[in-house]
């Protein structure tokens, strides 16, 4: 049975019961309360239990067809180790816990749904908002460079009950098209990623991304400069290139 853990001590206060309250009294799933157990001042997780919990939450969120396939178990374990900050497990899997996640794989393999579900395992101050790159490009078309500033600058997080305002997972990087604002065309996500790199270097704020594109395709779309920055910003976690389409 695979086990991994999160040391409590300074992280204890991050496990406040902030997942209980919202103005609609919606209950937010919390694996630390529901499936973790304490041993030697550490949160212990058993992977089979985590997998079943993720699958259960996936069925609630996405429908009864949602399944964690055998072929994806290792990838799920990698993401869980990263999310809870298991330093020993991260070393074994060559993960840098300071960097973000670049999750790649074929269309329909389950990238977006896994990033949604894995978010519950992050300490509250490291949870992220998932934003579609396509929608961001449309925001630029309406608002111009305010959009780049919105996603590329650090802002104060005023409430402990909300996701960290500064951490994003940009979903489906590469499907967005260049947009114009008053006639000025801009590769919006390229500019945002460069700004996110500055945030990562200056303040240690990570960024996460899902994409169907290969490294060479990313470089072709965003340029060598952005691709170089991405190597510094992300841990590459990849589905098998032959992973099946799980939407059907």
pLDDT band at 245 (very low <50, low <70, confident <90, very high): confident
Look at residue 113 in the predicted model and tell me its pLDDT.
96
Please state which architecture CATH assigns to domain 3-238: 3-Layer(aba) Sandwich (3.40)
Parse the chain into domains and list their residue ranges: 3-238
Q: How far apart are CA 176 and CA 134, in angstroms?
A: 5
6, pLDDT greater than 70: no
Q: How far apart are CA 83 and CA 97, in angstroms?
A: 9
Q: What is the pLDDT of residues 53-73, one digit of tens each?
A: 999 999 999 999 999 999 999
pLDDT band at 164 (very low <50, low <70, confident <90, very high): low
pLDDT band at 248 (very low <50, low <70, confident <90, very high): low
pTM: 0.85
211, pLDDT greater than 70: yes
Q: DSSP labels for 180-192?
A: EETTEEE-HHHHH
Contact 4, 49 (CB under 8 A): no
């Amino acid at each position: 049975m695979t086990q991994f853990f999160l040391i409590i001590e300074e992280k204890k206060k991050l496990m406040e019961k902030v997942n209980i309250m919202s103005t609609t009294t919606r209950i937010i799933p919390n694996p630390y309360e529901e499936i973790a157990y304490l041993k030697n001042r550490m949160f212990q997780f058993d992977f089979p239990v985590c997998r079943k919990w993720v699958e259960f939450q996936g069925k609630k969120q996405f429908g009864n067809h949602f399944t964690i396939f055998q072929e994806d178990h290792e990838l799920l374990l990698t993401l869980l180790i990263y999310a809870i900050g298991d330093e020993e497990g991260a070393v074994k899997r060559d993960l840098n816990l300071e960097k973000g996640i670049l999750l790649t794989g074929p269309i329909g393999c389950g990238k977006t749904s896994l990033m949604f579900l894995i978010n519950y395992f992050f300490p509250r101050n490291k949870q992220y908002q998932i934003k579609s790159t396509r929608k961001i490009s449309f925001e630029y078309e309406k608002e111009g460079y305010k959009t780049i500033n919105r996603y590329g600058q650090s802002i104060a997080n005023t409430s402990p009950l909300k996701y960290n305002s500064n951490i994003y997972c940009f979903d489906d990087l590469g499907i967005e098209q260049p947009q114009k604002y008053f006639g000025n065309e801009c590769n919006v996500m390229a500019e945002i990623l460069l700004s996110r790199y500055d945030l990562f270097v200056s303040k240690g704020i990570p960024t996460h991304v899902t994409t169907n594109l290969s490294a060479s395709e990313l470089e072709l779309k965003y340029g060598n400069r952005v691709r170089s920055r991405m190597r510094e910003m992300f841990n590459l976690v990849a589905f098998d290139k032959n992973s099946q389409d799980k939407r059907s």
